Amino acid sequence: MGTTTKKRRKAVVSQAECVACGCCVKVCPLAAIQVVKGIAAQVDREKCVGCGRCARECPATVITLEEAAV
Amino acid sequence: MKQKKWYDFMWIVSLTYLILGFFNILFAWLGLLCFFIPLLISIIGGSKAYCNRYCGRGQLFGVLGGRFGLSRKKDVPKWMKSKAFRYGFLIFFFIMFFQMLWNTYLVFAGAQDLRQVVTLLWTFKLPWQWAYHGTLFHAGAAQFAFGFYSVMLTSTVLGMITMVLFKPRSWCVYCPMGTMTQLICRARNGKL
């Protein structure tokens, strides 16, 4: 029997380009994204369900949804 | 739906500020709060809580571009989020700001008369004399008000243009205050 790895989409923030405006924080339904120390937003991968709201909201469009093995 | 907090309505304050300046230019002085509060929060608190929560200007763009649908919701061009443009715009904004302070100084020093105009986009002089009813203080205090209101109106108009063309809060990408507070936060955490 082969093992199956589930793939889930998670939000990923480009740390170098993030302007730390916090627009993503406001729209996240699970409070899975926070602006850390005023530098950049960071995603809690445990909480993120990959809904993509933050990516759509981000004014700089620096959040992408990437597949990650869970 | 998340419960709205009091600070989710700061866009009303921002809008009121712009309207007040239409009737009495001296209200423009209140805009200094939008400069000092974010700076103090970043210097003392080490965070961008101002951008993240309290910025009425960003919220205003969010409301107009989002709820009122006045935005194409397209991605901003790549150059607009580049460090070169963001820092370049910050420097440009600083130069223009100091030029405004210099003009204020000249009026205080008596070397220049009060000019009752609001300069839009650093170029266009709009007549604004109806909003000036004299001042108890020096004419220089009024000159600063005209200059500061020009800064605030210019950034609102620029923000509106990018709101319509790109995403609602595109202004946040190149907002000089945002860039400056992020720089301060980076410096505080040794991540320059």
| Residue A21 contacts B where some CB pair is shorter than 8 Å | yes
In a domain? residue B79: yes
Domains in chain A, number: 1
Asked if residue A20 lies in contact with residue A35, where contact means CB atoms within 8 angstroms, the answer is yes
Question: Could you tell me the CA-to-CA distances from B30 to A48, A57, B9, B16, B169 in Å, in that order?
Answer: 40, 30, 18, 11, 23
Instruction: Kindly identify which residue of chain A lies nearest to residue B47, measuring between CA atoms.
Output: A38
Averaged pLDDT, A9-38? 96
* Cβ contacts of A17 on chain B, cutoff 8 Å: 81
Q: Is residue A2 part of a domain?
A: no
Task: Give the pair of three-digit tokens for residue B32.
Answer: 């200094």
Residue B152 and residue B18 in contact, taking contact as beta carbons nearer than 8 Å: yes
Tell me, yes or no, whether B1 lies in a domain.
no
For the residues B118-122, what does the mean pLDDT come to? 92
Contact A62 B62 (CB under 8 A): no
The answer, for B115 touching chain A at a CB cutoff of 8 Å, is no
B3–chain A Cβ distance below 8 A for any pair: no
Average pLDDT (B77-92) is 97
Structural domain span for residue A62: 7-69
Beta strands per DSSP E along B84-169: 117-120, 124-127
Name the pLDDT band for A4 (thresholds 50, 70, 90): low
Domain count, chain B: 1
**Residue span of the structural domain in which B22 resides:** 6-188
Asked if B53 is an interface residue toward chain A (Cβ–Cβ < 8 A), one would say yes
Mean pLDDT of chain A: 91
Task: Count the alpha carbons within 13 Å of B133 in the hemisphere toward its beta carbon.
Answer: 7
Residue B191's pLDDT band (boundaries 50, 70, 90)?
confident
Residue B36 domain flag = yes
Beta bridge partners of B120: B124
Best residue of A21, A27, A58 to probe chain B, by most B CBs closer than 10 Å: A21
Taking alpha carbons only, the member of B46, B141, B82 closest to residue A39 is B46
ipTM (interface pTM):
0.87
What does the pLDDT read at residue B135? 80
- The per-residue pLDDT for range A27-37, each reduced to its tens digit, is 999 999 999 99
**Spatial distance between the Cα atoms of B17 and B38, rounded to a whole number of angstroms:** 17
Average pLDDT of B7-36?
96
Alpha carbon distances (Å) from B189 to A44, A60, B43: 21, 23, 11
CB A23 to CB B53 under 8 A? no
Whether residue A1 lies inside any domain: the answer is: no
Query: Which chain B residues have a beta carbon less than 8 Å from that of A32?
Result: none
Does A20 contact B182 at a Cβ distance shorter than 8 Å? yes
B81 close contact with A: CB closer than 8 A: yes
Between A5 and A31, where is the model more confident? Answer: A31
* Residue A53 falls inside a structural domain: yes
Q: What is the CATH number of the domain that holds A28?
A: 3.30.70.20
User: What gap in Å lies between CA B13 and CA A30, rounded to an integer?
Assistant: 29
Total Cβ atoms within 10 A of residue A5 = 6
C-beta atoms of A39 and B185 within 8 A: yes
Q: Judge whether B58 lies within some domain.
A: yes
